[in-house]
Amino acid sequence: MEAGECSAIGGEGDGIWAKLVPTDAQCSGIDITSGDMVIHSEVTCFSSKKQSWCLIEKVPHSGKATIKNISQGPIIVDEAIVGTEETVNIKYGSEIVSGPHREGHLVFHFKETSFQKQDTKALMIPLDVEHAKCSICLNIWHDVVTVSPCLHNFCNGCFSEWLRRSEKKCRDVVCPQCRATLQSVGRNYFLRNIEEAILQTFPLLRTSNDELALLDNRASVRSNLVLGAQKPSSRNRSSGFSSEESFASGLACPQCGNLIGGFKCNRATAHLQCQACSGMMPSRPDVGIPQQCLGCDRAFCGAYWRAQGLDPGGEYTICSPETFQPASRWTISRVPDTTHEYNRYEQDITEWCIRQMGKTVQATVLEWITKLDNREIDRARLQLKHAEAVTSRTHLCSDCFCKLVNFLLYWFRLSMPRHLLPPDASNREDCWYGYACRTQHRNADHAKKRNHVCRPTRG
């Protein structure tokens, strides 16, 4: 089938600013080459006759467009009927059917081209590449971290190695660039985007893969680190202590000033703050004790202090080990409210299926964790930061374990044959937008009528 045609009626230039992309691979797309365009093309699958059936107009400076039906009958735009001479808004990805029914008529998706370029130009930031280099390795930042209070930036791997050497040899951790005494360090996601943009523009500045692998291996800054010895909390502070005495007593971190488990912090030791209890612990990535959740990179102290022989409830703020434990040790008695994108109807179906199989939610989750260990599940939808590394032995916080459960129960439902579903759910058609459907959250009838535990087929 030949390509459709456009005729300008008020052009802004000859550049292609948008396109109608047909869902049928045998049909050609239609380029839209000016602000107001009449679309002149075939409208049915059975005829090569062309006709003018809609007008698409770009809305200046908005990144939006409108479509006007100029055909003899209705057309469909984003599942809504648009009558003759009616105008509606469209956006990137909008579905347009050239007639009143999908069957027999051509279906297009609206794709913008110039809007995206204009937005990119509007967000361009002038930057001297020399200011985006790590002062340790002199290359463009890789997984950039920022230190305070001086706010200098370094590669994560470079600074992590500097930190390790400082903790062994120095009284305080100082900035590699200005030698200011440092208080904290954390990953800088904003500058990481700039780092990636620079390397896309200047690919010759990219560091070799071997060097990047070495930096990644050295990197130890995964969440914000507090650097240096911790000040005593107000409840333990005594006005009769000198600064040296206070360093050796009553500190927020039990190992600051005390030899516990064979380790004692020095003034250069980096510290992590627990997300659950706000207590402090030394950052010790080399001892093999989990201190940060692999799903979110947040720090939790329960497993560390348990390994050091300390129990909660004493003089120091310490979490219970149950707040941070391997995935296989967590217990769960019911399907979480967040499962199946908060769709209560789908949650009830999942619970019904588990009961019909004579199992509990706990047993079902453990069974599918085993499948995860055996690499029987595609992890693309697992919403955890280091999804590929998660196993039954991975320490997770409660929030990340809940996300893991949601993911596993999604796969449990996908594997369930339709004849094993409840009678009122076995004959439902899949929603076009699957688990990503937004209508299921605000329309109970739609949530019940369509199956949403499925992959999106459009949108």
Answer whether residue 9 is part of any domain.
yes
**Domain range for 163:** 129-221
CB environment 363-381: b (16+ within 10 A), e (fewer): ebbbebbeebbeeebeeee
Do 115 and 18 share a domain, yes or no?
Answer: yes
pTM of the full predicted structure?
A: 0.59
pLDDT in tens, 302-346: 999 999 988 887 777 788 888 899 999 999 999 999 999 999 999
Q: Is the peptide bond before 149 cis (omega within 30 degrees of 0)?
A: yes
Average pLDDT, the chain: 83
Residue that terminates a domain, selected from 105, 122, 139: 122
Neighbouring CB atoms inside 10 A of 227's CB total 23
Residue 325: per-residue pLDDT: 93
Answer whether residue 288 is part of any domain.
yes
452 token code pair? 């949403």
Residue that terminates a domain, selected from 157, 190, 221: 221
Do 216 and 229 share a domain, yes or no?
Answer: no
Average pLDDT of the segment spanning 276-290: 89
266, containing H or E segment? none
Q: Which residue has the higher pLDDT, 151 or 93?
A: 151
pLDDT in tens, 431-444: 998 998 988 988 88
Band of pLDDT at residue 38, cut at 50, 70 and 90: confident
Band of pLDDT at residue 238, cut at 50, 70 and 90: very low
245, containing H or E segment? helix 243-247
Do 158 and 85 share a domain, yes or no?
Answer: no
Q: State yes or no: pLDDT of 366 exceeds 90.
A: yes
Residue 145: per-residue pLDDT: 94
Residue that terminates a domain, selected from 282, 298, 319: 319
Do 333 and 401 share a domain, yes or no?
Answer: yes
Neighbouring CB atoms inside 10 A of 51's CB total 15
How many domains does one find in the chain? 4
Neighbouring CB atoms inside 10 A of 280's CB total 26
Dist. CA 434–CA 425, nearest whole Å: 15
Bridge partners (DSSP) of residue 38 are 7, 55
Do 10 and 118 share a domain, yes or no?
Answer: yes
Do 275 and 212 share a domain, yes or no?
Answer: no
Cα-based angle 243, 249, 251 (whole degrees, multiple of 5): 90
Dist. CA 240–CA 312, nearest whole Å: 28
Please, what is the angle between helix 361-373 and helix 398-414, to 10°?
Answer: 90
What's the distance, CA 52 to chain centroid?
43
Q: Which residue has the higher pLDDT, 53 or 458?
A: 53
| Domain harbouring 206, CATH code | 3.30.40.10
Do 118 and 134 share a domain, yes or no?
Answer: no
Q: State yes or no: pLDDT of 216 exceeds 80.
A: yes
Do 252 and 167 share a domain, yes or no?
Answer: no
Answer whether residue 61 is part of any domain.
yes
Answer whether residue 458 is part of any domain.
no
Neighbouring CB atoms inside 10 A of 217's CB total 10
What's the distance, CA 182 to chain centroid?
30
| Domain harbouring 113, CATH code | 2.60.200.20
| Domain harbouring 273, CATH code | 3.30.40
Answer whether residue 459 is part of any domain.
no
The strand pair at 87-90 and 107-112 is best described as unpaired
451 token code pair? 């199956």
Answer whether residue 455 is part of any domain.
no
End-to-end alpha carbon distance in the chain: 26
Do 59 and 167 share a domain, yes or no?
Answer: no
Neighbouring CB atoms inside 10 A of 101's CB total 9
Band of pLDDT at residue 402, cut at 50, 70 and 90: very high
Do 238 and 215 share a domain, yes or no?
Answer: no
